[in-house]
Amino acid sequence: MHTDALHQTVARLFTLLHERQIAYVLVGGIAMLHYVQGRNTEDIDLILNVSSLQKLPEIALISQDANFARGTFETLQIDFLLTRNPFFAMVQRRYATVHAFRERDIPCATVEGLLLLKLYALPSLYRQGNFVRVGLYENDIATLIHAYQPDLEVLFVVLAPHFSASDMTALQDIVADIQQRIARFQHGFGENA
């Protein structure tokens, strides 16, 4: 989808959500664009309550399970993270802020909220063997850490109740690798450390 057409369709979706008074938080690639440049996306990701989907007959649902739904609005694919998942509900409640999009204020995940969602998804993506999505998510994590230097220990505390000890160790190892990559970048290519 062409960028201008994408933005116009997304703007119409936000207008619809506003008119129907639906509580949501923008996450995913379009939310990333509020914080970093160069992130491409052709879909939109929203956290919302499952009952809100019933108020949006303009969205054709393709699939739905307990935690996720996927649908289309005009030519736009939408991935929904449903708040019946307590983790998604917590991100919507505690890690949202407001950003302007085409002269409308929209609720958007904070840097910490985006990092939590990306880290939360990684173990599942690894188990699925989805190398491409793992690479995208890890790159998003690296870009946000590099640009904003969030308190990662606080994020690990938030994530810990949702994972086994071995998954938490694996996530911490991934983040340590990302931090080493950032450190190499900061030293300059080919320069001695």
pLDDT for res 191: 65
CATH of 3-109, one of 3.90.1150.10, 3.20.20.70, 3.30.460.40, 3.50.50.60: 3.30.460.40
pLDDT for res 192: 58
Q: What is the torsional sign of CA 15, 104, 44, 120?
A: negative
Beta sheet of 24-27, edge-to-edge order: 60-64, 68-73, 76-82, 43-48, 24-27, 104-109, 96-101
H or E stretch at 158: helix 152-159
Nearest to 178 by CA among 160, 164, 147: 147
pLDDT for res 40: 66
Block mean pLDDT (10 aa), the chain, length 193: 76 94 94 81 90 95 97 95 98 96 91 98 96 94 96 98 97 97 84 57
pLDDT for res 2: 63
| Domain residue spans of the chain | 3-109, 112-187
